[in-house]
């Protein structure tokens, strides 16, 4: 087998990094392990820890058959450390070290920068598990419950992936960071998670689907950028994480689509023609399309904040250093150093949105965000096809990038979802039309009743077209043990 294809399942920590030959790291991870299990029990999914969940577990890193499915109790899930196979003679693909051999050890001058990037990425993984921990109690089906738990255990594994890098390559400081990753708490007043969107509540299942569609997709973009890294262990780690990440976005994409399907189906059956007749639609026990739009507005804008400032020296430095690349750097055709290039940035100048050319190196956060916006648009097209096919005159739309922002160029202004600047007074008056308000939240909460009978779905969401692992419609994805 090629390097990195063998997984050792014998020890406490399944891995393809030959932990047995690295007693120091192995011991460090085995010491970290009990704290992780305590964290999982304290902050992981509430309940269901004794239940048997039909989960996939990574058993290899071959793209053609890397996972197996079986019933597992979540605390017994095999959280392994898996790196994508090494690319022989890999070179640093961008920045000022472009063309030099990829680093197998941390370059001293970039140690702090790398540690920071790995810690921030690592922090998002347990954060999302914490945000989603209440959702098991209101799952609309066993299928959805299983998908939630699949996402949760894999975010746990992504934490392991980052913790491995910290322990292996960053000495005492790495160990301290790894410990702190288990101490911060999403939404905590004193010890919050590091990034804003990961301290927001995920109060209901529509939020969960929006989160996995929009926010896990930010994860994908960050992982794509780090997969290009000249620091080879980080690149290989992120490449394998991306394999799992695809399912998280599928859960969100298909989740929102199933909500839309159910809504338009119920409207059609009831003979409702006006999608804005919210009262009539809600009387059917489904989520009206304008509320779906509001949820999108919220999750999209919160996620855009994760890309940071449009113009950023940190981003320029990380690229220049060969640490964090662009989306699909290896597919781009330019000089991969960007020293002479410029890039257009939409800025807020004297109360107006104006496009300005800035040095491309300093605009890399924005560039990644632009790639994200394009990627995030693809699902919206699919959702709209469902609405169009049902014959309704309504289209979902990503809000303007300036809408409801808290970081970057637009943090100091208010706009409507079209990007028109609003006064503070206008914003205060109209905010409830753009973002979910208390009444919307109360209505959605009222729909969140659990359905735990195999093959049955809550009334506000359609059944999926296909089962997980080709299982039949009435498959018992979770064997619930109270
Ligand atoms: Fe993740
Ligand atoms: Fe994810």
pLDDT digits (tens, 9 = 90+) for 367-410: 999 999 999 999 999 999 999 999 999 999 999 999 999 999 99
Cβ atoms within 10 Å of 472's Cβ, excluding its own: 8
Mean pLDDT of 38-51: 97
Question: Rounded to the nearest whole angstrom, what is the distance from the C-alpha of residue 281 to the centroid of ligand 1?
Answer: 36
325 and 368 in contact (C-beta within 8 Å)? Answer: no
Ligand nearest to the CA of residue 248, numbered in listed order: 2
Question: Rounded to the nearest whole angstrom, what is the distance from the C-alpha of residue 235 to the centroid of ligand 1?
Answer: 15
pLDDT digits (tens, 9 = 90+) for 16-42: 999 999 999 999 999 999 999 999 999
3 pLDDT tier (thresholds 50, 70, 90): very low
Question: Rounded to the nearest whole angstrom, what is the distance from the C-alpha of residue 248 to the centroid of ligand 1?
Answer: 8
Question: Rounded to the nearest whole angstrom, what is the distance from the C-alpha of residue 301 to the centroid of ligand 1?
Answer: 20
Ligand nearest to the CA of residue 161, numbered in listed order: 1
Question: Rounded to the nearest whole angstrom, what is the distance from the C-alpha of residue 20 to the centroid of ligand 2?
Answer: 29
Residue 303 token pair: 């996620």
State the pLDDT at residue 66: 82
DSSP strand pairing (414-415 vs 342-349): unpaired
Question: Rounded to the nearest whole angstrom, what is the distance from the C-alpha of residue 248 to the centroid of ligand 2?
Answer: 5
By the 10 Å C-beta count (0-12 exposed, 13-18 middle, 19+ buried), 86 is classed as middle
State the pLDDT at residue 313: 96
131 and 201 in contact (C-beta within 8 Å)? Answer: yes
Question: Rounded to the nearest whole angstrom, what is the distance from the C-alpha of residue 120 to the centroid of ligand 2?
Answer: 14
Separation of alpha carbons 417 and 400, rounded Å = 5
Question: Rounded to the nearest whole angstrom, what is the distance from the C-alpha of residue 211 to the centroid of ligand 1?
Answer: 12
pLDDT at 2 over 50: no
Distances in whole angstroms, Cα of residue 402 to Cα of each of 372, 407, 409? 15, 10, 8
Question: Rounded to the nearest whole angstrom, what is the distance from the C-alpha of residue 213 to the centroid of ligand 2?
Answer: 9
Question: Rounded to the nearest whole angstrom, what is the distance from the C-alpha of residue 223 to the centroid of ligand 1?
Answer: 9
- Picking from 275, 270, 272, 273, the residue whose alpha carbon sits closest to that of residue 288 is 275
Ligand nearest to the CA of residue 249, numbered in listed order: 2
Question: Rounded to the nearest whole angstrom, what is the distance from the C-alpha of residue 66 to the centroid of ligand 1?
Answer: 17
Q: Give residue for tokens 């943090």.
A: 411
pLDDT at 5 over 60: no
357 pLDDT tier (thresholds 50, 70, 90): very high
pLDDT digits (tens, 9 = 90+) for 253-285: 999 999 999 999 999 999 999 999 999 999 999
Phi and psi, residue 420, nearest 5°? -75, 130
pLDDT at 1 over 50: no
Mean pLDDT of 144-153: 98
CA 276 to chain centre: 31
Separation of alpha carbons 98 and 95, rounded Å = 5
State the pLDDT at residue 257: 98
- DSSP codes, 67-101: EEEEEEEGGG----B--PPPPTT-B--SSTTTTSB
pLDDT at 83 over 60: yes
Question: Rounded to the nearest whole angstrom, what is the distance from the C-alpha of residue 27 to the centroid of ligand 1?
Answer: 24
pLDDT digits (tens, 9 = 90+) for 198-233: 999 999 999 999 999 999 999 999 999 999 999 999
Residue 264 token pair: 């338009």
Residue 397 token pair: 């739309």
Percent of the chain with pLDDT over 70: 98
Alpha-carbon dihedral sign for residues 206, 207, 209, 213: positive
Cβ atoms within 10 Å of 24's Cβ, excluding its own: 9
Furthest-apart CA pair in the chain: how many Å? 68
Question: Rounded to the nearest whole angstrom, what is the distance from the C-alpha of residue 325 to the centroid of ligand 2?
Answer: 20
By the 10 Å C-beta count (0-12 exposed, 13-18 middle, 19+ buried), 32 is classed as buried
59 pLDDT tier (thresholds 50, 70, 90): confident
Q: Give residue for tokens 């911060």.
A: 184
Mean pLDDT of the chain: 95
Question: Rounded to the nearest whole angstrom, what is the distance from the C-alpha of residue 12 to the centroid of ligand 2?
Answer: 24
Question: Rounded to the nearest whole angstrom, what is the distance from the C-alpha of residue 167 to the centroid of ligand 1?
Answer: 19
Question: Rounded to the nearest whole angstrom, what is the distance from the C-alpha of residue 219 to the centroid of ligand 2?
Answer: 6
Cβ atoms within 10 Å of 26's Cβ, excluding its own: 19
Mean pLDDT of 338-342: 96
Separation of alpha carbons 369 and 292, rounded Å = 23
Question: Rounded to the nearest whole angstrom, what is the distance from the C-alpha of residue 429 to the centroid of ligand 2?
Answer: 36
Ligand nearest to the CA of residue 216, numbered in listed order: 2
Question: Rounded to the nearest whole angstrom, what is the distance from the C-alpha of residue 148 to the centroid of ligand 1?
Answer: 13
Percent of the chain with pLDDT over 90: 93
């Amino acid at each position: 087998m090629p390097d990195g294809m063998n997984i050792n399942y014998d020890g406490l920590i399944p891995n393809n990094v030959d932990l047995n030959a690295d007693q120091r790291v192995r011991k460090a991870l085995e010491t970290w392990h009990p704290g992780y299990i305590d964290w999982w029990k304290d902050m992981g999914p509430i309940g269901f820890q004794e239940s048997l969940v039909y989960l996939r577990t990574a058993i290899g890193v071959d793209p053609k058959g890397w996972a197996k499915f079986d019933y597992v109790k979540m605390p017994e899930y095999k959280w392994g450390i898996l790196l994508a196979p090494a690319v022989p003679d890999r070179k640093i693909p961008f920045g000022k070290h472009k063309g030099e051999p990829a680093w197998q050890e941390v370059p001293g001058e970039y140690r702090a920068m790398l540690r920071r990037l790995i810690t921030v990425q690592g922090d998002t993984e347990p954060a999302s598990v914490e945000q989603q921990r209440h959702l098991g109690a209101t799952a609309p089906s066993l299928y959805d419950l299983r998908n939630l738990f699949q996402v949760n255990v894999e975010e746990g594994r992504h934490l392991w992936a980052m913790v491995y890098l910290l322990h292996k390559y960053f000495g005492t400081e790495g160990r301290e960071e790894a410990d702190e990753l288990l101490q911060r708490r999403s939404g905590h007043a004193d010890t919050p998670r590091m990034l804003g969107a990961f301290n927001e509540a995920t109060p209901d299942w529509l939020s969960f689907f929006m989160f996995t569609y929009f926010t896990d997709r930010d994860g994908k973009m960050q992982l794509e950028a780090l997969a290009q890294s000249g620091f080879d262990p980080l690149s290989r780690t992120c490449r394998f994480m991306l394999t799992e990440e695809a399912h998280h976005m599928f859960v969100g994409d298909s989740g929102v689509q199933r909500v839309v399907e159910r809504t338009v189906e119920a409207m059609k059956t009831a003979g409702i023609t006006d999608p804005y007749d919210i009262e009539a639609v809600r009387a059917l026990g489904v989520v009206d399309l304008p509320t779906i739009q509001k949820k999108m507005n919220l999750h999209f804008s919160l996620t855009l904040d994760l890309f940071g400032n449009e113009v950023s020296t940190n981003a320029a430095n990380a690229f220049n250093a060969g640490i964090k690349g662009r989306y699909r750097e290896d597919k781009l055709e330019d000089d991969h150093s960007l020293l002479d290039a410029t890039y257009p940035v939409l800025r807020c100048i004297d109360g107006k949105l104006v496009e300005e050319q800035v040095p491309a190196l300093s605009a890399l956060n924005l560039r990644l965000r632009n790639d994200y916006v394009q990627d995030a648009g693809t699902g919206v097209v699919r959702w709209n096809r469902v609405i169009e096919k049902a014959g309704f005159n309504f289209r979902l739309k990503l809000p303007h990038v300036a809408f409801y922002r808290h970081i970057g160029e637009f943090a100091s202004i208010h706009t409507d979802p079209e990007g028109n600047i609003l006064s503070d007074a206008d914003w205060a008056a109209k905010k409830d039309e753009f973002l979910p308000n208390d009444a919307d939240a109360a209505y959605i909460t009222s729909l969140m009743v659990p359905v735990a009978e195999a093959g049955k779905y809550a009334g506000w969401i359609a059944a999926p077209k296909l089962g997980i692992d080709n299982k039949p419609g009435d498959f018992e994805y979770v064997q619930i043990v109270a």
